[in-house]
Structure formats: structure tokens, C-alpha cells
Structure 1
Amino acid sequence: MEPEVLGFSVPTESNKTLFVWNITAELLEGDIYRSLLNVFTPFGVLYSLKLLPNAGGSEPGYYAVIKYFSSRSASRAQEACDRKTLFQDAPLKVRVCNNQKGFQYKSLALNSNKCQDLANYYLGFNGWCKRIIALHNISGLDELEDEGAEQEPKKLKYLCVLEVTLPTHDICSRGVGVAEEELEKQNDPMEFLMKSGKLQKYAVQKAMSDAFQKILLVVFDNGKVAVEYVPSNDGAVDCLSEEELQGLIQVNDFSWTETNLDGEEEDLADLTFYENTMSDVM
């Protein structure tokens, strides 16, 4: 079987998604969710697990949509769990979804937490490390270029340049992230401190996600993993020395537009309560 190539992006392929139904209401909803996690996580790292009540008019119960990063994980889970009584008296029904065929979805970058989950699973907790190269307050730098423009509310902005290293594979990948927010009270030191801490954290998270976007995992059927590094179209961040990067940031000669990742938000507001608690349960 050919190896499977996994990127650090939101999985959209239908063969990575399981539909699970015939879930009875014997247990509490939270217990059902944890039971599903215990059953399906051994087959591979999950991107998401949604537990939903049956439609009105149906018997009381639930169905679940489970999304893996790997199609092999989804296939193995389906074969092992379909028509089995796993945590309830009635057997579960498990199928690989196929309702997305024929549609093309834009690939979105994973947020930093899920990047770490994927890296830990396939590379091991000691198989990678991160290092912050630069973390700067760049507030007002872009305003210098538009002195004649209409004055807007003052913004607090931080930029981070971060390096992800895979020592075993001799790979280093740099990422850039920018986070900004308006200051409601420009002379309030408490607001400045609180928002500075939050924005520094977000900038680091975005830079980590950006660094992982250049890494591909090649997973073989025997479980072995190879890694490929795919540089971005503009490889300036990776080619410049740390001193050169610091200098470009200080003189405002760095391309902020390249740091706007089109990807998954760090704060996944659209997830249900049980999805948000997945990392805690695991």
C-alpha cells in the first residue's frame, strides 16, 4: 500500500470522516462522549468528534461525526467498531462518510494546539521542539507610512518569528505570526499589560502554525514516518540569519501581509462543549 501524506491542515476528505449512529440514551451525554473517545482514539489522532441528538420524531439517542487526520485510521476504526457492542447493549453502526465526494474544499491551516497533537502522535513528544527567534511589539510601525491618513483607534500589535525543529529528520521550519487588537483606553496600563500578554501568546501560536505548514508527514503502512520540508514561495524567513531578521523587523522592512494565515482560528468558537473538552479528556 502506498504511503499516506499528511499535512498540518484541517482534514476535509470524506474518507477521513466516520458517521456513527444507533447510539442509545442509556448513558449521560458526557459519558457517551467520553466513551466514544475511548473507543476511537486508539485507531489514530482525532481532529474532531461531534456528538449530536437524533432528529425530532426519532427514538431518543445520538449520532456522532468523527474526523481523523488519516484515512487509514478511519478505515481501521470502521472495520473494528461496526456492529459491535462497545459501551452499550445495542451495537453501534459505523460507516465512512461519502457525502463530500465531488466537492473541493480550500485547505485551512491547523491551529497550533492541533499541530502539536498531530506532531506528538506521529513524531513523539521528543521528536520535535520549538524556539522563539523574535517576539516584538510592532505597534505603530505601519502608521508611520500613512501619516496623512485619517486617524484610526490605536492598535496594539505583536510579531513573532518561531522555529520548529525535527532533530531526527534534520529539518528546521520557521513561521511568522502577527496578532493585533485595538486599545479601548490608550492610557490604561492595566489594559496594555493584559492585552500585551494575550497578543504575545496569539502571535506565538500563529507563528507555530505557520511553521508547521511547510512540513509534510509521509506515513507508511508499517507505522514508520518520513518527513518532507516544502518551503513557501517566498523563503526569506527561512534563508535570513537571526540577526538579519531582527534588523528587518526593527526598520519595518518586513512583509506583514505574509503573516496573515488563512486557517483555523485558535479560539474555536463554533465547537460544542464536548468538542472543546476533548483535549482535557484525552
Structure 2
Amino acid sequence: MDPEVVTFTIPIENNKIVFVWNITARLPEGEIYCSMLKVFSQFGPLYSLKLVPNASVAGPGYYAVLKYYSSQSARRAQAACDKKNLFQDTPVKVQICIKQKGFPYKSLELYSQKCQELANYYLGFNGWCKRIIALQNISGLDDNPEMESDPQELGKLRYLCVVEVILPYHGVCSRGVGVAEECLEKQNDPLEYILKSGKVQKYAEQKALSNAFQKILLVVLDSGKVAVEYVSGEEDNVDCLSEEELKGLIQVNDFTWAPMDAGGGEDEEDWAEISFHEDTLIDS
């Protein structure tokens, strides 16, 4: 089996999606979900597990859609669990998807919490660390003094954050930039300002952390060992600058504003877009 490259992005490849069906309704839904999570997480880190009730014409029961970060994990899960009883009295069917409708993602970037979970799995809790290089309030820095300001623009709170992710055992450092904004409903309310400042700073840090992880590739070898590659964008000069240069070079026009999204918008998937038919599965 060839080494596999695992990236810090949302997995959408067909060979990373696993279908499980013939799940009976003899146990409560919450217990079924926890049992499936315990069984299938043994084969590798899961991006998501969705348990769905059968259509009314199919009778009581469930099917599930699982998404792994690694196709190797998906293959191991299929080989070990197909036609096995697992957590119920009757066997389930487990197959890998080979056809799939497209997902309407705006971005394939992985949410920061998911990035940390993936890094912890492959690198270990002591295999990486992060530090904040810059966290700056940049509200109003792009306002043109010669133009009349929009009242809504005056009430926007904006923060820029630069985070560095360090992999000490691999000699890799990656910097990411995140910008977040939020509207202030009451400009003269100090309590609202303090509360929203904390939220915007946190979200800017999360965006920067996610951006830093996008440049890191994990090469998973057959032995289970992990090698690391750093890949920078063509126009990415954040990693080339010293900290002093970076702090002095913060320019508003270089970045795109990200609206507040405390829940991580990319985690909300349109599961109805997955084709669930016999011809979408790999025969065992």
C-alpha cells in the first residue's frame, strides 16, 4: 500500500466516505450513535458520522454515513466491519462510496477544532504547538477619510491575528492569518464592546490557526509513521517575514473579512446530496 497524503481540509473524496446500513432500531438512537462512533473510530480519525432514519417504506431502522480523513481508514473499516454484528444481534452492511453528488462548500478549509483533533491523532498531543505572533484591532483602518463613512461601517469591530504552528520533531513552522469582524449594535455600550471584542479575537485566532494548518501535509507511511511536508502558497509571504516586519506590514486591503461564525459553518453539510443506491458502493 502506497503512502497516503492527509491534508487539513474537509474530506470530500468518494474513497473516504463509508455507508453503513441494516442498522436496527432496537436500541435508542443516542446509544446507536455512540456505539458506532466507538467502533468506527478505531480505524482512523473521523471527520463526521451522520445517523439517518430509514425512509418510511424501508421500515424502522437507520443507515449511517461516515467520512474519514484517510482512504486507508475507510478501507480498514469496510474490511473489518462488513457483515459483522458489531453492536447489534444482526449483521450490518458496510461499503465505500464510489459515486457522489457534489457538496456546495464555499471553502474546503477545515475548522480549527477539527485541525487540532487531526494533528493530535497523527502527531500526538506533544507533537505540535501554537503561538500568537500578532493580535491587532484594525477597526476602521480601511476607511477613506475623503469619503463619507457608512454608519454601519463605523459600528464594525475588526481584529487581525497571526498564528504560528510549530512541529518541533519535524522542524516545520507554518504561519496563518485570520481576520474577523462583528457589528456593534450600540457603539457607546462598553459591555457590548468588551463581549464582542473577545468573540472577534477568538474567531480571528481560529481562522489564523486553520489557515496555518492548510500549509501542512501529513504523509502517512505503511508502517504507521508520519512524515510532514510544508507547502506555501505562491503569493504567501507571511512565513518569510520576521516578526518585526510582519507586525509593521499589517495592511487591511491584503485580507478578506470573515463574518462571525462561532459554530464553524463548513461543518454544516447537505447530507441529502449523497446518493444512497447500490451502484454507489464498492462491492466487497
TM-score, normalised to structure 2, is: 0.88
1:33–1:147 CA distance, 2 compared to 1 (3 A): farther
Maintained 8 Å contact 1:163/1:174 = yes
Match of 2:140 in 1: 140
1:102–1:186 CA distance, 2 compared to 1 (3 A): closer
Distance 2:267 2:130 in 1: 26
- Percent sequence identity is 65
TM-score, normalised to structure 1, is: 0.88
Maintained 8 Å contact 1:162/1:208 = yes
Match of 1:276 in 2: none
How well do the aligned residues superpose, as a CA RMSD in angstroms?
A: 2.5
Match of 2:42 in 1: 42
Match of 2:157 in 1: 156
Distance 2:90 2:145 in 1: 67
Match of 1:182 in 2: 183
Maintained 8 Å contact 1:9/1:107 = no
Match of 2:27 in 1: 27
Distance 1:164 1:60 in 2: 47
1:1-282 equivalences under 5 Å are 1-100=1-100, 108-143=108-143, 145=144, 147-153=146-152, 154-249=155-250, 252=251, 255-257=254-256, 266-267=264-265, 270=268
Distance 2:158 2:107 in 1: 27
1:147–1:56 CA distance, 2 compared to 1 (3 A): farther
- Aligned residue for 1:217, secondary structure, equals strand
Distance 1:253 1:188 in 2: 26
Match of 1:277 in 2: none
Maintained 8 Å contact 1:15/1:97 = yes
User: What is the Cα deviation at residue 268 of structure 1?
Assistant: 5.7
Range moving further from structure 2, 103-112 or 185-194: 103-112
Equivalent residue letter for 1:195? K
- Aligned residue for 1:198, secondary structure, equals helix
Maintained 8 Å contact 2:128/2:168 = yes
User: What is the Cα deviation at residue 147 of structure 1?
Assistant: 3.8
Distance 1:150 1:105 in 2: 33
1:152–1:25 CA distance, 2 compared to 1 (3 A): same
Maintained 8 Å contact 1:177/1:207 = yes
Cα deviation, 1:100-119, whole Å, max 9, x if unaligned, reads 28999886010101101111
Cα deviation, 1:198-218, whole Å, max 9, x if unaligned, reads 011100000000000000011
User: What is the Cα deviation at residue 234 of structure 1?
Assistant: 1.8
1:52–1:132 CA distance, 2 compared to 1 (3 A): same
Distance 1:53 1:172 in 2: 45
1:103–1:270 CA distance, 2 compared to 1 (3 A): closer
User: What is the Cα deviation at residue 150 of structure 1?
Assistant: 4.6
5+ residue gaps, structure 1: 273-282
Distance 2:9 2:269 in 1: 17
- Aligned residue for 1:113, secondary structure, equals helix
Maintained 8 Å contact 2:110/2:266 = no
Maintained 8 Å contact 1:12/1:107 = no
1:147–1:48 CA distance, 2 compared to 1 (3 A): farther
Maintained 8 Å contact 2:142/2:253 = no
User: What is the Cα deviation at residue 146 of structure 1?
Assistant: 5.7
User: What is the Cα deviation at residue 152 of structure 1?
Assistant: 3.5
